[in-house]
A and B are shown apart, each in its own frame.
Chain A
Amino acid sequence: MTTDTRPAGRPLPAPGPDSEAFWTGGAHGELRIHRCRTCGRFFHPPAPVCFRCRSTDVGPEPVSGTATVAAFSINVQQWLPGFDPPYVVAIVELVEQPDVRLTTNVTGCPVDEVHIGMEVVVEFEQWDDVWIPVFRPAAESGDEA
């Protein structure tokens, strides 16, 4: 029971001026996260201003795409046509800065193998003009149990 296959249907985002880099970075194999050039810290979701230091000198930068599962749920209920359960929805923390989190899917392994502390890496699913970042277990899964 893996979630290895992409769903038949995935509702797509409407990228805006602030979020376009996030949803299209996958075309270049890059996970692009907004960063403040004044205080140096990343933040997500992207916005035109840093919520910490209020600098407007912000913009997307590529990150490694490595993250850690901080919380997750195996979704069992069918909510959306074509998006068949079970699948894992997870909150993952970026290795560059753990207080920057993405809500995403963990794919590529049986749903009951996903756990908090699991190391995951980004991959991209292209749908029309957007590249949806999802995460799969890191190859060297040296994570804590």
Chain B
Amino acid sequence: MNPLGGRAVITGIGQSEVGRRLGRSGLDLTVEACLRAIADAGLTPDDIDGVTTYPGSLSAMPGFSGAGALELHDALGLDTRWLMGSVEVAGQLGPVMDACLAVAAGVANHVVCFRSVWESTAQQRGGGDRASVLGKGPRRASGMMEWLLPYGAPSASTWVAMLASRAMHEHGLTREQLAQIALTGRANAARNPAAIYRDPMSLDDYLSARMISTPLCLYDCDVPCDGAVAVIVSRRDATGGLPRSPITVEAFGAGLAERHTWDQRIDLTTMAAHDAAATMWAQTGLTPDDVDLMELYDGFSYLTLQWIEALGFCGHGEAGRYVEGGRRIAIDGERPLNTQGGQLSAGRLHGLGFLHEACVQLWREGGDRQVAADLEVAVAAAGGGPVAGCVLVSLR
């Protein structure tokens, strides 16, 4: 049933230093994460024959891309058989899926997949422009921004906020329920020495924070940071002698069933996440009930709720009630969520950090934040609005 046939596995992971305004280049952070991941897998750079990354060498937004696939190739003097770096993939986890296809097809043996950002430092150097605010500048707006920039909506926070308002209207979602994503992340971050924000946060702290774009407040929005994450995707037949028990990529979700827009989806209380999740479940005999751990994108808190619904952990419109009170999604709850603190508290590593954390937990290397319960299957997901991708991994 698994089109990958179990041939694609994860053999190593790596993360660079992560922080605010580290003053290091994106390539520097990228190299640190990739060398760590390669060594973690028991490999050397000479063993790496593939590279994938999101979004590739983009310079339009300061610090949004720390390095492209070719920059890493050049920096490490790699000898590859296959590589790609692109923004037009199934979200920030898309390059992992492409690596899985490459190894399953036998095109490569060991692919380093990375995502790096240096938005925090780039913003400081660029005079304070927000990295994730698109399309600023003297030229007129075209492409997607033609429809958003004239209305003062250059930031995804506004786009997500509008959709959250619809969920509040249709499904009775409350700010207290939204808050639970931020509060759970912060509680987990306190156990993660690599997280950026570790001070306790209360519901009162959340409710008294300044608004960004109603109904989203400051703590609903992740924080730009500098950092890089890398994952080694290997062909299972090439893993003999490697130190780790491989993590199997059971399935991935890359579906996109409706138009690539933020405002034209037929049901405004769903997102492309629903399409991606549906195609992921169609690839596997596993079901949502089999999932022990959720590592779900929280670039904005509402997106996590969308992923919870999209992946079928609760019914349509029920995610607010699913997370209410936080017991179910706590680190010792029935299905822990964002155990590293999520991007809201651990930093905006932009997607790949969720798969990294899923592997940390499955390999039981979480230290103070390790989930005590047995873990066999985890899901990592990234993206919001028309951008989505998810990956189901296991120790099976």
Among the stretches B9-17, B149-157, B274-282, B340-348, the one at the interface with A is B149-157
Q: Name the residue of chain A whose CB is nearest to the CB of B166.
A: A71
Q: How far is the CA of A66 from the CA of B251 in the complex (A)?
A: 46
Q: Judge if A80 is at the interface, Cβ distance under 8 Å.
A: yes
**Count of A residues near B, CB < 8 Å?**
36
Q: Which of B134-191 contact A (CB under 8 A)?
A: 135-136, 139-142, 146-155, 157-159, 161-163, 165-166, 169
**Most chain-B Cβ atoms within 10 A of its Cβ — which of A44, A70, A74, A89?**
A89
Contact B150 A12 (CB under 8 A): yes
Q: Which of A86-112 contact B (CB under 8 A)?
A: 87, 89-91, 99-105
Q: Which of B148, B210, B211, B264 contacts A101 (CB 8 A)?
A: B264
CB A10 to nearest CB in B, in angstroms, measures: 6
Q: Name the residue of chain A whose CB is nearest to the CB of B133.
A: A79
Contact B141 A74 (CB under 8 A): no
Chain A residue numbers with a CB within 8 Å of B140 are 11-14
Q: Name the residue of chain A whose CB is nearest to the CB of B144.
A: A45
Chain B residue numbers with a CB within 8 Å of A102 are 263
What residues make up the interface of B, taking CB atoms closer than 8 Å to A? Answer: 130, 133, 135-136, 139-142, 146-155, 157-159, 161-163, 165-166, 169, 210-216, 259, 261-264, 266, 268
Q: Which of A73, A79, A99, A116 contacts B161 (CB 8 A)?
A: A73
A-B contact count (CB 8 A): 116
Q: Which of A14, A73, A134 contacts B158 (CB 8 A)?
A: A73
Chain A residue numbers with a CB within 8 Å of B212 are 76-77
The 4 A-B residue pairs with the shortest CB-CB distance in the complex, in nearest-first order: A14-B140, A73-B161, A71-B166, A71-B162
Contact A132 B150 (CB under 8 A): yes
Chain A residue numbers with a CB within 8 Å of B158 are 73, 75, 89
Contact A73 B162 (CB under 8 A): yes
Contact B165 A80 (CB under 8 A): no
Chain A residue numbers with a CB within 8 Å of B261 are 45
What residues make up the interface of A, taking CB atoms closer than 8 Å to B? Answer: 7, 10-14, 16, 19, 44-45, 51, 70-77, 79-80, 83, 87, 89-91, 99-105, 116, 132, 134
Q: How far is the CA of A132 from the CA of B152 in the complex (A)?
A: 12
Contact B147 A75 (CB under 8 A): no
Q: Name the residue of chain B whose CB is nearest to the CB of A111.
A: B214
Chain A residue numbers with a CB within 8 Å of B165 are 71-73, 116
Chain B residue numbers with a CB within 8 Å of A132 are 150-151
Q: A11-B154, A89-B213 are in contact. List 15 more A-B contacts (CB 8 A).
A: A11-B149, A12-B141, A14-B146, A16-B146, A51-B259, A71-B169, A73-B161, A73-B215, A76-B211, A77-B157, A89-B153, A89-B158, A90-B162, A103-B262, A134-B151
Chain A residue numbers with a CB within 8 Å of B161 are 73, 75
Contact B141 A99 (CB under 8 A): no
CB B294 to nearest CB in A, in angstroms, measures: 26
Q: Name the residue of chain A whose CB is nearest to the CB of B136.
A: A80
**Most chain-A Cβ atoms within 10 A of its Cβ — which of B139, B140, B150?**
B150
CB A67 to nearest CB in B, in angstroms, measures: 12
Q: Which of A45, A71, A83 contacts B152 (CB 8 A)?
A: A83
Chain B residue numbers with a CB within 8 Å of A45 are 146-147, 261
Contact B142 A14 (CB under 8 A): yes
Q: How far is the CA of A16 from the CA of B141 in the complex (A)?
A: 11
CB A79 to nearest CB in B, in angstroms, measures: 5
